[in-house]
Amino acid sequence: MASTYDLDKPSVSNVEENRTRLCEEFAAITGTDSAVAQCYLAENEWEMERALNSFFEADLEKVFEEDLIESEPGPNTKKQKVEERPPEECIDLTEDSSASAHKTSEEDESKLSLISWNVDGLDTDNLAERARGLCSFLVLYTPDVVFLQELIPPYVQYLKKRAVSYLIIEGGEDGYFTGMMLKKSRVKLIESEIVAYPTTQMMRNLLVAQVTFKDQKLCLMTSHLESCKGQAAERMKQLRVVMQRMREARDDVTVLFGGDTNLRDAEVVKVGLPPSVCDLWERLGKQEHCRYTWDTKANSNKSVPYVSRCRFDRVYLRPATKVGVPCIAPDHMALVGLEKLDCGRYTSDHWGIYCSFSLG
């Protein structure tokens, strides 16, 4: 007869199954393989959060160090030079340029513009050049609002030094997280908050900011929903949280959500969008050239043995409905980041989404 101890003890098969699942989740989050995942998880007693923190504690700042420092003679170390550089000497790589392709007319100045982009900060190859690539698109498009996913602390520090015309709001501190950038001259922050997803296994949450743009109240939201096909149930739970927040916002507030949703169309159908919420790509005519934001057929940053074309990155709008409040309506959408950088890679393994909105 089996002892009480034996009955309570997890079976070997259950332990193996659970650890295999943890390895798969770790590898999906970090972009590594099962061997690396197993090493970090085993060292951290198979606790996912501890293992991820251990992985991301590696000193990635050296990836950006060379770019952040202008070469100058002398025996001082690079780190010393960074500390000695006065903040005002930082070069703003996102400063408005007369060569900008957008906002050149009075009509354009009245429009709200947004970029949403998973910048793949977890991939440290050519990361400094790819971060400069992001800044070059900020110069070109001068977006009022930027939603970013898969940021890591060194990437944020780089943006703070090189995108000083933007206010940066972070959706976390450790590992990887989301962020927002608000054009200081046009968007004013009132308050921000981080909404937890209680059952996430991948450190995901919802970053929310209340702002004003030309005296209009906006609620901005970004998130990176649970990744991988097997996490559909959790991803749909997270989408429900997003939709509830959009639906319950005050009627004098326009709500904009953008991010890497990892959603499949069937999952959106199961959850259902509130009648007041629209998918921008669908609202603007389902243009084929804007369909796929994750496209391994066109984007070679990830070496995968298959072709995957998905509309993972999405933007949702819930206009204000109060009588007398001007309506914000989408009028343009395009994919950005389609050009290779000098290093031979793209700014990210995702294309970014650029969209603009008319007021009135």
Dist. CA 208–CA 288, nearest whole Å? 30
**Of the listed 120, 260, 313, 349, which one is catalytic?**
260
Give yes or no for residue 167 having a pLDDT over 90.
Answer: yes
- Domain ranges, residue 204: 86-359
Give yes or no for residue 279 having a pLDDT over 60.
Answer: yes
Give yes or no for residue 54 having a pLDDT over 60.
Answer: yes
Q: Tell me: do 141 and 179 sit in the same domain.
A: yes
Q: Tell me: do 306 and 197 sit in the same domain.
A: yes
Average pLDDT value for residue range 280-297: 97
Among the ranges given (59-73, 90-104, 162-176), the one the predictor scored with the smallest mean pLDDT: 59-73
pLDDT at 163: 94
Catalytic, 92? Answer no
Look at residue 332 and tell me if it is in a domain: yes
Give yes or no for residue 15 having a pLDDT over 90.
Answer: no
Q: Tell me: do 20 and 119 sit in the same domain.
A: no
Q: Tell me: do 216 and 268 sit in the same domain.
A: yes
Q: Tell me: do 283 and 341 sit in the same domain.
A: yes
Q: Tell me: do 182 and 321 sit in the same domain.
A: yes
Q: Tell me: do 242 and 295 sit in the same domain.
A: yes
Look at residue 4 and tell me if it is in a domain: no
Q: Tell me: do 286 and 348 sit in the same domain.
A: yes
Look at residue 76 and tell me if it is in a domain: no
Q: Tell me: do 188 and 286 sit in the same domain.
A: yes
Q: What pLDDT digit, counting tens, does each position of 99-123 carry?
A: 444 455 555 788 999 999 999 999 9
* Number of domains comprising the chain: 2
CATH number at residue 311: 3.60.10.10
Look at residue 6 and tell me if it is in a domain: no
pLDDT at 177: 97
Give yes or no for residue 12 having a pLDDT over 80.
Answer: no
pLDDT at 110: 85
Q: Which residues contact 59 (CB under 8 A, 6 or more apart)?
A: none
User: Could you tell me the pLDDT band of residue 77, with boundaries at 50, 70 and 90?
Assistant: very low
Record the pTM: 0.80
Q: Of 345, 324, 351, 184, which is closest to residue 260 (Cα–Cα)? A: 351
Among the ranges given (22-31, 231-240, 323-332), the one the predictor scored with the smallest mean pLDDT: 22-31
Task: Please classify residue 255 by burial: count the beta carbons closer than 10 Å to its beta carbon, then call 0-12 exposed, 13-18 middle and 19+ buried.
Answer: buried
Look at residue 331 and tell me if it is in a domain: yes
Q: What pLDDT digit, counting tens, does each position of 206-254 carry?
A: 999 999 999 999 999 999 999 999 999 999 999 999 999 999 999 999 9
Q: Tell me: do 197 and 316 sit in the same domain.
A: yes
Q: Tell me: do 157 and 293 sit in the same domain.
A: yes
Average pLDDT value for residue range 320-333: 94
Among the ranges given (101-110, 182-191, 261-270, 320-329), the one the predictor scored with the smallest mean pLDDT: 101-110
Asked whether the beta carbons of 205 and 223 are under 8 A apart, the reply is yes
pLDDT at 5: 46
pLDDT at 288: 97
Q: Tell me: do 39 and 174 sit in the same domain.
A: no
Which of 56, 75, 107 is at the close of a domain?
Answer: 56
